[in-house]
Amino acid sequence: MLICPQCQFENPDGHKFCQRCGTSLTHETCPDCSAEVPVGSLACPSCGVALAEPLLAIVDSPRKAYGWPAPDVAAAGTPYWRYGALSDLEMSTVVPTAARLRVCDRDPYRVRSLDAAVAQAEANLARAATEDPEGEAALEASLETVVPAVARPYLALEAEFEQHLPVLVDAWEDTHQQVTILEDRTGWPGLVDLWGDPETPLPEIVYGLELLLDLWESLLPLSCASSLLDLDNLKVDEDRVPCLAYLHYSPSLEHSALLRDLGQTWVEMLGRCDRDDLEPLRTLAESLAACELLVVGEVRTHLEAISNGQPLRIVGAGSSMAFGSPRAEPQGAMSLRDAIDSLGAMDSSDLDDDDEEDTNVDDAPTVVLPMQLASLDEAGRSDIGRQRDHNEDCFGIYTNVQRRETPMGKSICARSLYILCDGMGGHASGEVASSLAVKTLQTYFDEHWTEDRLPSADAIRQGILEANRVIFETNQRDLRSGSGRMGTTLVLALVHNSKVAIAHVGDSRLYRLSRRRGLEQITVDHEVGQREIQRGVDPSAAYSRPDAYQLTQALGPRDSDFIDPDIQVLDFDEDTLLLLCSDGMSDNDLIETHWQTHLAPLLSSRANLDQGLSQLIELSNQYNGHDNISAILVRAKVQPNMNFLR
């Protein structure tokens, strides 16, 4: 089975083009010279630019039958043929049965071994739920037979520690060894290098150590705690957040892993940092290594005391640096990843009582740190679509960003306005209305957004009513009537530091995406179908009406007595991606269907928003090319406000 890289449609083996969207399944376009290059090529033959993304292969061989066959030796279609070696095998210094090497995917569109295994496991779980309500035996058998043991920790911890663990690309096992294919993080900056920098604030290091404690508690029962004992494995991402390059899976070693081993690693790590202000942390690490501290709760108490001088438990509010945050509880029906997590929990019962750490945290009060903006990026684009002869959409991006730096770290102060409008009224009318709305709102907020905070809901409403007045009076002056009256939808976002105000009229939408919450549609369309649902009508009946998609509100056709914009204020309490879009993009559940492939990767600071938006527009043209397509992407990265501690 071949998965289309554009629309994710499943195509039979051997097909050269996607049956749904026509995308080539044998060639890709070089991003530098636009030459057509065979899929799986390491580099473009025309310009030489690298095309294949390096991946990291971890080979675990209890029988020590290491080996990575060359492509001409491995059978075509097998995993070893698919992942061509880019380096030699390198033995692990921590786990004697493991080795690693860099590889590339020579057949990236084919269904991966792990995906096939997960699909099989989900089918087994569904069958077990029907045949055996308890399902424990079937659950364990399903996971142990189709999902390699080395892959289960990644799946079990994916939801809670997504940013701190590498992406699991593939996994399989044979008679000699188990293999995991991961995102390659080996070239990322080392955690020791960041903490050794005198400009890194002490509270940031304390939070990092708290994260390592959280990871220790979660990795120990999954036979991966030794991952935290390898300094070369401790990395930081583009947002300075500590993470791991890969997991050391070693059941034979984990039962003897003690908290003192983590303390010895901290002694070595902090000893490499030439900073006098880390002396209290070094003392703590030495006490931990000397077994003077025996439970995780005690270590946290001392870390908190070092951070603020009081026995308070300090955590970030839901951000990627919320190192002390409580474990998330699974909701709803048991998924495969929940099942794997529960299986790992069952395995932990084999641990000796003497070797288990008391993970109870003291009952000290919690201080919740407010978040501050670390970076703000945006991209906007409008496309005519594939069936219209003119574009009635319009958007505006107006930003004012100032960077700040204090001894407690770096942050930015932002005051940004994002407006997107989808005009209506025919040629030379819809585009006039949308353009008038954007221009009027930009002028209004230039004049009325003068205080160092978000405008009030009433001030935002008055700005929207002013835009409606300008378009309405233009209709009146030009004696427009009926369907000839021009109008426009509106969705806007005002960002002030870590807060965002959202307002909309019509069916242009705003979506929010974050790692913890996933995808959320923030706005509710102003249309007949939604109005009926809010009145208590069943959704299927509401949308069976012939006028279900007719707008109940728009700027311009009627006076301001008929305009009631929805306004809400949200916090950026974790890294967030906002998508403002016209219905040319949101129609047919396109965002809900494809967000994991086309939006989720854009949460990373390494992702190019302009390029990602172009790919999203192209996808929309394939599915919704009947209309104009416009969108704005806003990526907000946040961090705990260390100045709050002063």
455 vs 218: CA distance, rounded Å? 43
Q: What is the pLDDT of residues 263-281, one digit of tens each?
A: 999 999 999 999 988 998 9
Residue 496's beta-bridge partner residues?
Answer: 415, 499
> According to the model, what pLDDT value does residue 568 have?
97
The dihedral sign for the CA sequence 137, 138, 143, 144 = positive
As a whole number, mean pLDDT of residues 524-544 equals: 93
**Residue 595: both structure tokens together:** 């967000």
Q: What is the band of 598 on the pLDDT scale with cuts at 50, 70, 90?
A: very high
**Residue 315: both structure tokens together:** 């955590």
Is the predicted pLDDT of residue 319 greater than 50, yes or no?
Answer: no
Is the predicted pLDDT of residue 538 greater than 60, yes or no?
Answer: yes
56 vs 560: CA distance, rounded Å? 59
Q: What is the band of 403 on the pLDDT scale with cuts at 50, 70, 90?
A: confident
Residue 381 or 367, more confident? 381
Question: What are the φ and ψ backbone dihedral angles of 140, each rounded to 5 degrees?
Answer: -60, -45
Q: What is the pLDDT of residues 445-491, one digit of tens each?
A: 999 999 899 999 999 999 999 999 999 999 999 888 877 789 999 99
> According to the model, what pLDDT value does residue 65 have?
56
* pLDDT > 70 fraction of the chain, expressed in percent and rounded: 83
495 vs 418: CA distance, rounded Å? 8
Residue 236's beta-bridge partner residues?
Answer: 242
Average pLDDT across the chain, whole number: 83
465 vs 91: CA distance, rounded Å? 67
> According to the model, what pLDDT value does residue 183 have?
93
Range among 171-180, 374-383, 395-404 rated most confident: 374-383
Is the predicted pLDDT of residue 231 greater than 50, yes or no?
Answer: yes
Residue 358 or 224, more confident? 224
Is the predicted pLDDT of residue 569 greater than 60, yes or no?
Answer: yes
Is the predicted pLDDT of residue 368 greater than 60, yes or no?
Answer: no
442 vs 416: CA distance, rounded Å? 11
* pLDDT > 90 fraction of the chain, expressed in percent and rounded: 45
Is the predicted pLDDT of residue 637 greater than 70, yes or no?
Answer: yes
Is the predicted pLDDT of residue 228 greater than 50, yes or no?
Answer: yes
Query: Helices (DSSP H) in 172-278: which residue ranges?
Result: 191-196, 202-219, 251-254, 259-271
> According to the model, what pLDDT value does residue 257 have?
64
Confirm if 387 and 626 have CB atoms less than 8 A apart.
Answer: yes
Q: What is the pLDDT of residues 6-19, one digit of tens each?
A: 777 888 888 888 88
**Residue 408: both structure tokens together:** 């407690």
> What b/e sequence results for 609-623 when a residue is b if at least 16 CB atoms lie within 10 Å of its CB, and e otherwise?
beebbebbbbbbbbb
Range of lowest pLDDT (168-172, 175-179, 273-277, 340-344): 340-344
Confirm if 28 and 22 have CB atoms less than 8 A apart.
Answer: no
Cα 105 → chain centroid = 23
As a whole number, mean pLDDT of residues 633-646 equals: 77
203 vs 92: CA distance, rounded Å? 32
As a whole number, mean pLDDT of residues 411-424 equals: 93
As a whole number, mean pLDDT of residues 142-157 equals: 79
> According to the model, what pLDDT value does residue 350 have?
42
3-class SS of residue 630: strand
As a whole number, mean pLDDT of residues 195-213 equals: 89
Q: What is the pLDDT of residues 54-110, one digit of tens each?
A: 999 998 876 655 667 766 666 666 788 889 888 888 887 777 778 889 999 988 888
3-class SS of residue 558: coil
